[in-house]
Structure 1
Amino acid sequence: MTTSFDQLTSWLKERKITEVECLICDLTGIARGKISPTSKFIVEQGMRLPESVLLQTVTGDSVEPDIYYRLLDPADIDMFCRPDPSAVFLVPWAIEPTAQVIHDTYDKQGNPIELSPRNILKKVLKLYADRGWQPIVAPEMEFYLTKRCEDPDLPFQAPIGRSGRQETGRQSFSIDAANEFDPLFEDMYDWCEAQGLDLDTLIHEEGTAQMEINFRHGDALHLADQILVFKRTMREAALKHNVAATFMAKPMTGEPGSAMHLHQSVMDQDGRNIFSNPDGSMSELFLQHVGGLQKYIPELLPLFAPNVNSFRRFQPGTSAPVNVEWGEENRTVGLRVPESDPQNRRVENRLPGADANPYLAIAASLLCGYIGMVEGLEPSPPVKGRSHERRNLRLPLSLHAALERMESCRDLEAYLSPRFIAGYIAVKRAEQENYNRIISSWEREFLMLSV
């Protein structure tokens, strides 16, 4: 890892990198930017992009004009993007020696752009740093492998593995089922190793050709960068082997959804876990952290479930949590406390979908816990046994309802800028309206000749 632009320059030259992909992450989690010759990148030390890039929807459309001109300069000015030397990764699948460098965004006065997801995460991390705390996170990414399909009207199908057969049925934790795609995962692991990604284990999840990759615990910002890079890497590895990889929250009818589970803990300046007392018991700060997650996750749910499709994952009867109850070693709750020794005590937020923007999901999860600790919020009693039927701490049931709830929560404005909140909600409402214009296959099948 490089720590200065001079070290980054030396790193690029030593590896004979000829092109640099200059990236930022927009609100939807899409990597946007420019591809630059290395010589130009070294001279310019950054790039300029229209600030409107950060208000694009997942379809590439913009938000309503009145909101657009309220949040952005009407002249559609540029923002200044500066490379983070600690966020440089190879592009192993490229034909020419190529690197990807994640950039931070600033206005012409040098102020961080408030609409930038990476800046939002850095803002939350500063709240922790100002109190002498360092959050530690460990993400778990679920995703599906599917057959390549050019027609979006057709349902996804499981791909054909090495045996020549299509996977069927539930294959949770099956080694043989995962090995069906050995050549693909060998490339994926080789590429991730070349990029320095902190991958841990590969698991075959419950769904048909559904997989999970776990990351080792570490710095929140660095792991958010890694998730952005990993998603690109996984899609490229799949394409090389003539299949597709999708991080949609609910890509297949009748199959489990895909999550981005976030394990989180907090260390003090001496490296001690503040979630545990000296005698090893749960600390008051830990319980308050859980209390903050319980109170504010429903207010920030669009940052964990950002798309219309995200809410299909929360349907009753699915394996996904549908509330913010908590409990020890309980996978039916939204907030699971895994069994561990006191130094590794943590809470697992099981609510974010795999489709969530990693910067925003991590920022929101840490922010909820932070507010709980500084405001002294107490959690509900822990749940023993199944929690799906409990309705006291249920979540909003649709993107529309979740956005309304986020918009009405004034407590968040003290921590997240009103401009970010307004911009994010505007983007997601524009996507909802775009979705509402599409006639689904269900409507054609059941209404065409029946009503």
Structure 2
Amino acid sequence: MKKLTQWLHDNHITEIECITPDQTGIARGKIMPTDKFIAEKGIRLPESVLLQTATGDYPDDETYYNILDPADIDMRLRPDEDAVFMVPWAHEPTAQIIHDCYDSMGNAIELSPRNVLKRVLALYKEKGWQPIVAPEVEFYLTQRCTDPDLPLVPPIGRSGRAESGRQSFSIDAANEYDPIIEDIYDWSEAQNLDIDTLIHEEGVAQMEFNFRHGDPLKLADQVFVFKRTVREAALKHNISATFMAKPITNEPGSSMHIHQSLLDAKTGRNLFSNENGTMSTLFLNFIAGMQTYIPRAMPLFAPNVNSYRRYLPGEAGNSPVNIEWAEDNRTVGLRIPNSEPEARRVENRLPGSDTNPYLAMATNLACGYLGMTQGLTPRKPVSERLGTEADPDMPFNLEAALDAMEGCEELREILGPVFVDGFIATRWAEYEGFKRVISSWEREFLLSSV
């Protein structure tokens, strides 16, 4: 705590947001004065917050008590001195500090998404491997909408008009939202977030920010903080920002593509390339692991009912509906960007921007790790542009995806059985809540016709 205490003093911090990500990616925690934080050296939270759904509900009692202590005990949260960020939108000098979760004996809480990622990274470290990732995060800007029955509409830009039509890579369209974009950049810089390129994506008022490549844990922290930053910047300008996978009918979904490479931890050499520049066996094993296990890990890349609206077989302009791989081909789920051998990487184009960044990166690494340790062989790369026909191995609704994940012993072992059981339980709980709501589609087409 010595380094952290000095940083808080140097930056005149008066208030601390003590946070940890839950399974949905929501920041849970407490806010306290700096003096109290330093004196207590951490906080306590009920372990049950890690089993909350986005609606604040919990799994059924039997599942709940099989996973958690019936007494609803507290877990101990310890601040990570390398995960400290300013809160530039706060009125007083405030810091947000990401915490790790432990039990009373000092054991890592398996339900914690951050601990799941650290668990997978430890497996890589044992092998002498250093994974490198670069996430790309998409989101929509919209007008404020307080009635959930009403569709979202794009906000008014600097020109006084709302955007219409597809504006992929348009500089002028992105400049319509300069005031909020400038705040996102300024606040990201104040928090030392490694954001790089801004792109106007294909959807109406849809943006994408790319992050510089680096350590998976640090970048998961940054994406977690970045989402909060974008929402706050939108609120400042009286609009909204959403990371829902498919928030607007007939518009493209929002993804979080993950670029993945692998270095030798001692030499820094890219292990995905041979010395002569060709693809290495480890690289092919990694791809094969993704092809084998992504169909069983889809709830971690697409965790919500809405997530699967991105994958619409037969509808052009949506996300890939396959796990094929190819070089420089955006119609496949696993794209190999055109690069020099030392920068060889694979881009997983399946995760949605609604996913928990810790779990998406942990799962991406877990699938590749299983492929490398099992010596799996990938399918042949495709050479053509793929259509919109769905891969028969892929589950494209939440029910099928949860059933596939529940039966995968390899993922259960690598991610932790307690986490897998808890995660599946929260997804089922959310899904049961969704099924109780009657949609506008049902009222429109069934009300008077069946």
Whether TM-score is above 0.5 comes out as yes
| 8 Å contact kept, 1:207–1:255 | yes
**Alignment partner, residue 83 of structure 1:** 79
Question: Aligned equivalents of 1:271 and 1:325: distance in 2?
Answer: 29
Of 282-291 and 316-325, the range deviating more from structure 2: 316-325
Q: Does 1:203 align with 2:202?
A: no
Question: Aligned equivalents of 2:337 and 2:388: distance in 1?
Answer: 22
Structure 1 residues 394 and 207: CA distance shift in structure 2, 3 A? farther
* Aligned-residue offset at 1:415: 1.0
- Percent identity of paired positions between Structure 1 and Structure 2: 66
| 8 Å contact kept, 1:27–1:424 | yes
Q: Secondary structure at the match of 1:314?
A: coil
**Alignment partner, residue 395 of structure 1:** 394
| 8 Å contact kept, 2:320–2:388 | no
Deviation string 1:299-334 (CA, Å, 9 cap, x unpaired) is 110000000000000002143010111100010110
Q: Does 1:279 align with 2:263?
A: no
| 8 Å contact kept, 1:142–1:212 | yes
Q: Does 1:241 align with 2:237?
A: yes
Question: Aligned equivalents of 2:412 and 2:424: distance in 1?
Answer: 14
| 8 Å contact kept, 1:324–1:393 | no
Q: Secondary structure at the match of 2:80?
A: strand
Question: Aligned equivalents of 1:149 and 1:392: distance in 2?
Answer: 36
**Alignment partner, residue 308 of structure 2:** 311
**Alignment partner, residue 256 of structure 2:** 260
Q: Secondary structure at the match of 2:295?
A: coil
Question: Aligned equivalents of 2:440 and 2:31: distance in 1?
Answer: 39
Pick aligned residue for 1:137 from 123, 133, 140: 133
**Alignment partner, residue 30 of structure 1:** 26
Deviation string 1:8-41 (CA, Å, 9 cap, x unpaired) is 1111111110000000000011000000100011
* Aligned-residue offset at 1:417: 1.5
Q: Secondary structure at the match of 1:365?
A: helix
Question: Aligned equivalents of 2:155 and 2:66: distance in 1?
Answer: 46
Question: Aligned equivalents of 2:173 and 2:330: distance in 1?
Answer: 23
Q: Does 1:115 align with 2:127?
A: no
Question: Aligned equivalents of 1:375 and 1:414: distance in 2?
Answer: 14
Deviation string 1:77-132 (CA, Å, 9 cap, x unpaired) is 00000000000000000001100000000000100000000000000000000000
Question: Aligned equivalents of 1:159 and 1:384: distance in 2?
Answer: 40
Q: How does 1:153-168 map to 2 (within 5 A)?
A: 153-168=149-164
Deviation string 1:392-429 (CA, Å, 9 cap, x unpaired) is 55410200110000001122232122111110000000
Question: Aligned equivalents of 1:418 and 1:371: distance in 2?
Answer: 16
Q: TM-score, structure 2 length as denominator? A: 0.98
Q: Secondary structure at the match of 2:427?
A: helix
Question: Aligned equivalents of 1:248 and 1:61: distance in 2?
Answer: 19
Deviation string 1:352-382 (CA, Å, 9 cap, x unpaired) is 0000000000000011001100100000000
Q: TM-score, structure 1 length as denominator? A: 0.98
Question: Aligned equivalents of 1:388 and 1:12: distance in 2?
Answer: 54
* Aligned-residue offset at 1:390: 5.4
Q: Secondary structure at the match of 1:156?
A: coil
| 8 Å contact kept, 1:319–1:332 | no
Over the aligned positions, Cα root-mean-square deviation in angstroms equals 0.8
Pick aligned residue for 2:13 from 1, 12, 17: 17
**Alignment partner, residue 98 of structure 1:** 94
Q: How does 1:315-354 map to 2 (within 5 A)?
A: 315-316=312-313, 317=315, 318-354=317-353
Q: Which letter maps to 2:275?
A: P
Q: How does 1:372-451 map to 2 (within 5 A)?
A: 372-389=371-388, 392=391, 394-451=393-450
Deviation string 1:326-349 (CA, Å, 9 cap, x unpaired) is 100010110000000011000000
Q: Secondary structure at the match of 1:299?
A: helix
Unaligned runs of 5+ in 1: none
| 8 Å contact kept, 1:291–1:369 | yes
* Aligned-residue offset at 1:387: 2.1
| 8 Å contact kept, 1:322–1:388 | no
Q: Does 1:44 align with 2:40?
A: yes
**Alignment partner, residue 219 of structure 1:** 215
Runs of 4+ with >3 A deviation = 388-394
